[in-house]
Amino acid sequence: MNMKPTKQDSQLSKSAQAVQTALNALGVSYVVQELPSSTRTAQDAANSIGCELSQIVKSLLFCSQTKHPILVLTSGSNRVDTQKIANLVGESVAKADADFTRRVTGFAIGGIPPLRDHPYGGNPSISHVFIDEDLLKFTSCWAAAGTPNAVFCLTTNDLITLSGGKVVDIKST
Question: Whole-model pTM?
Answer: 0.90
Burial 63-94 (b: 16+ CB within 10 A, else e): bbeeebbbbbbbbbbbebebebbbebbeeebe
Instruction: Please tell me the predicted confidence (pLDDT) of residue 104.
Output: 87
Neighbours of 7 (CB within 10 A): 17
Domain extents in the chain: 9-168
Q: Which residue has the higher pLDDT, 9 or 140?
A: 140
What is the average per-residue pLDDT within 163-169?
95
What is the average per-residue pLDDT within 46-65?
95
Say if residue 3's pLDDT is above 60. Answer: no
What backbone torsions phi and psi does residue 137 show, to the nearest 5 degrees?
-70, -15
Say if residue 42's pLDDT is above 80. Answer: yes
**Percent of the chain, pLDDT > 90?**
71
* CATH number assigned to the domain covering 9-168: 3.90.960.10
Could you tell me the pLDDT band of residue 37, with boundaries at 50, 70 and 90? confident
What backbone torsions phi and psi does residue 121 show, to the nearest 5 degrees?
120, -35
Q: How confident is the prediction for the chain on average, in pLDDT? A: 89
Condensed to tens digits (0 to 9), the pLDDT of residues 106-138 reads: 888 889 999 876 544 455 578 899 999 999 999
Q: Which residue has the higher pLDDT, 143 or 39?
A: 143
What is the average per-residue pLDDT within 54-81?
95
**Alpha carbon distance 154, 26 (integer Å):** 13
